[in-house]
Amino acid sequence: MDRLMKVNKSAELAIIDFFRLLLENDRVSGIFTLRKINKDDSVDYCLVTDENRLDEAIPFYPFMPANAGQILSRFSPMNKPVAVVIKPCELRAFIELVKREQGTLDNFLLISYSCAGVFPIIKTGDEPFEKFLPSYWETVKRGGISQGIRQTCKVCEHFLPMNADITISLIGENKLDSECKMFLNTDKAKEFAKDFEGEMLEEDLESPVINSLLTKRKGEKEDLFTELSSKYSGLDGMINIFGRCIGCHGCSRVCPICYCTLCDFESHNYDYSASILEREISQKGALRLPPDTIFFHLGRLIHMSFSCIGCGLCTEVCPANIPVSTLFIKIGEETAKMFDYIPGRNVKEAIPVTVFKEEEFAELGE
């Protein structure tokens, strides 16, 4: 049984009250949350320090303008922590970054929630998704898969936060509009929530509704992977999937795991000299230029897929409509499984390529 605090207000109002308490009592130096920019769907992440600006906050809005894990990693160490509300996949990204010494856990009071998924980034010509919102929240209460959310979210299994100090229960809560359940998972959370008014209860976050949603999503994922695996076999498969890639590298820019400022694939390490090009062309009779499109994708798959937390932003930003994240999630599952690794599960769990076991892979090395 987990310890939780029940507050008789909608989840959103309750958490904003909580923010207010944190700011008023000077327990945090700021609140990191989603906020509404204007009357359209425009939303950004924002650090709020003035409690009078808290009414702009929309912490659970189903949208991901950036992977917050990537943003948090840029906070240098601070005296007083910032309270953040981020999605489970963003939190896992942040944990992966902390492992890579790209962030500090002490900086934050980590708040997350059972996540029902987010809507895609609106591109030119797309209809705003606001019309889906009422039915979205109804689906959250029922624990279904909402219409219009991203493919990545429809197949995401890790929608319950790992490592959150506080977890807000949204999925399956049919009184979402009038009460809020805050699970206080750590001592830090209890400390920060001192004097916050609510009823203390013992309950499990996991419920039959959550479990049935998990089963539904697993099923969707299996279908998606089966469909994909029919496409990616061999060299032709790579061309099938990445043939229309324009090489913008947007997918790796938005990837929270790809934190390297001097990315190997952006370097001139793999430039072709005239003599190499001539040799290749004389052999093949024709050569795609620039030649390294698939090299880039395969290279990334090999060196970071085990840490892919499946936030889906790569697919989101791809101008060529390539299902980048589907492939990365699939391959990532395969590579992580080799080391019994789950990215973002535990900050103490070593990144697979930084450790080894003497007795493993004895079958390799002929």
Residues in the chain: 366
Q: Which residues make beta-bridge pairs with 167? A: 112, 183
Residues numbered 274 to 303 that lie near another protein (CB under 8 A) are: 276, 280, 283-288, 291, 294-295, 298-299, 301-303
Min dist CB 133 to ligand SF4, Å, is 15
Q: Are 257 and 96 in contact (CB under 8 A)?
A: yes
Question: Is 225 a residue that touches another protein (CB under 8 A)?
Answer: no
276: exposed, middle or buried (Cβ count in 10 Å: 0-12, 13-18, 19+): exposed
- Nearest alpha-carbon partner for 88 in 120, 48, 118: 118
Containing 337, the helix (H) or strand (E) segment is helix 324-337
Q: Which is nearer to ligand SF4, 11 or 22 (CB)?
A: 11
CB of 291 to another protein, least distance (A): 7
Applying CB under 8 A, among 234, 261, 268, 275 the residue interacting with another protein is 234
Indicate the residue among 3 and 231 with the shorter CB distance to another protein: 231
CA geometry: angle 278, 282, 287, nearest 5 deg:
75
C-alpha 206: how far from its chain's center? 20
Question: Which C-beta is closer to ligand SF4: that of 17 or that of 157?
Answer: 157
Q: Is 200 in the site for another protein (CB under 8 A)?
A: no
Q: Toward another protein, which CB reaches closer, 56 or 280?
A: 280
Q: Does 231 bind another protein (CB under 8 A)?
A: no
Which H or E run contains 109? strand 108-113
Helix axes 293-304, 324-337, angle to 10 degrees: 40
Whole-number minimum distance, CB 315 to ligand SF4, in Å? 8
Is 320 an interacting residue with respect to another protein (CB under 8 A)? no
Residue nearer to ligand SF4 on the CB measure, 180 or 301: 301
Shortest distance, CB of residue 190 to another protein, whole angstroms?
A: 40
Q: What span, in angstroms and rounded, lies between the C-alpha atoms of 67 and 89?
A: 8
What does the binding site for another protein look like in residue numbers (CB under 8 A)? Answer: 232-235, 237-239, 243, 264, 269-270, 276, 280, 283-288, 291, 294-295, 298-299, 301-303, 305-306, 330-331, 334-335, 338, 352-353, 356, 358, 360-361, 364-366
